[in-house]
A and B are shown apart, each in its own frame.
Chain A
């Protein structure tokens, strides 16, 4: 493989990886605070693309406005899921919330099949995403360039929110020590709501870009990216936002490279992510950036 196609594949991997990263952040933020695997997160990713699809196709809104509205709607869906399905179970055994999360996920997928139809729909991607650029001999599609660029912008906004705003500070405090933060008068439910909103918004943004990359959308499209993104969060160090970003990139690049270098194995590319997960759990369960947190006894 020559250097040009290598760079092409690398960019491709980075763009896929940034999408995993955007989804992984939502998982990791919710897990950091609630110790809950929000199985429905991948389905919010799916809903985001459908919102954008309908806003463009039916309401004929301009592309940028549709995307913005779709992200906002997904944020609201995320908050609603928390409000309706998870909040009543905060003091219940942890397994209850996990089971409910699986239920919500399955509900969204099957309601999606019933309401939106099982057949895949062609996603109307904007011109700048499908355009092919010629960078010094390497032909690179718009998605490979714009997806990482937009993801980086979104990440910068996220880090600003987390580290420079009051609500971000509250989120970090709640993640470190929920009980103490509550005693200091922070409204936990509000903080958790915002966490779901931010995570879902990022997932929706990821979903819309995903649909630009692979322009076929269907109600089950969230399952695999969702699971891989969670794996990315584990690989990066669960609970750690920067870790989720790194984990996402690692998984995305590995996946693309396996397909590029070993085309015969491309059918198994999803299985490799699983192997990576098992290796990390065996060798470094705290992930790349995670630290060992001993439960207070």
Chain B
């Protein structure tokens, strides 16, 4: 495959896809639009999560906490002032949030701020934990998610406590969610493929050797973790403006668990793999809703079992780790070369493309 062809092909397919999204927004019913949007939000969060867990090999359990930061940030910024007065009846909302709200035209600012707040959260958690060897990040991020839950329940004058915030404007159209999905795929995979990404992968493979080759391990872990937190925050903001409410229970550990399944099944370290399984997961989740609904088989009535879906998902995760550890894509990326190598079996595999490039270069 000629090198010059890749870029135009990618741009072309993104353009076609954009057309599809535009069509879908105007023609699909609300249910499908919502599932498609959820899929896109999963992409943003999963791709970012994979950067720290799969590419850099640092086990974080933080996405739900960062998504919560992003979700509440956006809610506080875009909820109309009149709605704020209605929602916060237990305790009034604190200044300055009670006195303004961003118009729809500044939605992008709200999302960026959501990402930045989450990224700052990431720096605060990352600083004490990522300096250390061992799995302190896992335990600190897990605690962080739970603590955000505690805070969200208790800081009533900011979060409205367990009741949550209702009536958030529904700004997250398919253009927004998929726009961010594609942007996050491009940013994260460019980063992973770059020299910085190579350093991150080296840390995953052998931290001591990476350090001995001159890699500043702490900096690169922080970089991956902060970028990851940023996109998780954006995903949280998109989610808030999709389902129009946020509450502490929306961002419980289950969210992180879903993302973990997505990145494991897609292949730890494969950005495009995560993107694909994120979409599959969004649909699978809808299908499995039936498992929890009551079933009528002729005269037999099976009552719905709440929680069954999560049992299925956790079994899926365990079985995947035991028997299908490389996931769909292993560490490969979906690329034009990979697609071509599937079509023309005898052609150059992914592994041999470098040779051609080398000849071109030298």
Contact = CB atoms under 8 A, between A and B. Distances in A.
Interface stretch (B14-22, B137-145, B219-227): B137-145
Nearest to B317: A103
Nearest to B263: A99
A208 interface: no
A111 B310 CA distance: 8
B129 interface: yes
B322 interface: yes
Nearest to A296: B208
A35 B135 CA distance: 8
Contact of B138 (A98, A270, A274): A98
B153 to A, nearest CB: 7
A227 B142 CA distance: 8
Contacts of A118: 306-307
A3 interface: no
Nearest to A88: B322
B208 A295 contact: yes
Interface in A251-297: 267-268, 270-271, 273-274, 277-278, 281-282, 285, 295, 297
A270 B139 contact: no
A110 B311 contact: yes
Interface stretch (A13-21, A89-97, A169-177): A89-97
Contact of A277 (B143, B208, B264, B322): B143
- Provide the main secondary structure of the chain B interface: helix
B314 A234 contact: no
A106 interface: yes
A86 to B, nearest CB: 10
Contacts of B315: 103, 107
Nearest to B54: A95
A118 B53 CA distance: 31
Q: Which of B146, B208, B264, B268 has the most CB of A within 10 A?
A: B146
B317 A95 contact: no
A274 B136 contact: no
A225 B57 CA distance: 27
A37 interface: yes
B310 A110 contact: yes
Most buried by B among A35, A94, A107, A227: A107
Contacts of B59: 95, 98-99
Given A98-B59, A268-B150, A227 B139 contact: yes
A297 B150 CA distance: 42
Interface residues of B, number: 44
Contact of A93 (B57, B61, B139, B311): B57
A107 B315 CA distance: 7
B342 interface: no
A85 B322 contact: yes
Contacts of B306: 113-114, 118
Interface in A90-149: 92-96, 98-100, 102-104, 106-107, 110-111, 113-114, 118
B283 to A, nearest CB: 21
For the residues of A in contact with B, the DSSP-based class is: helix
Contact of A295 (B61, B128, B133, B154): B133
B146 A227 contact: yes
A159 interface: no
A270 B143 CA distance: 9
Contacts of A93: 57
Given A89-B321, A282-B128, A95 B57 contact: yes
A277 B140 contact: yes
B188 to A, nearest CB: 18
B153 A267 contact: yes
Contacts of A35: 134-135
A107 B144 CA distance: 21
A234 B305 contact: no
A104 to B, nearest CB: 6
10 closest A-B pairs (Cβ-Cβ)? A107-B314, A113-B307, A103-B317, A110-B310, A281-B128, A103-B318, A106-B314, A267-B154, A100-B321, A282-B128
25 contacts: A85-B318, A94-B135, A95-B57, A98-B135, A99-B321, A102-B61, A103-B314, A103-B321, A106-B310, A106-B313, A110-B311, A113-B307, A114-B306, A227-B142, A230-B139, A231-B139, A234-B139, A267-B153, A270-B150, A274-B144, A277-B143, A278-B128, A278-B140, A281-B136, A297-B208
Interface of B: 53, 57, 59, 61, 125, 127-129, 132-136, 138-140, 142-144, 146-147, 150-151, 153-154, 208, 257, 260, 264, 268, 305-308, 310-311, 313-315, 317-318, 321-322, 325
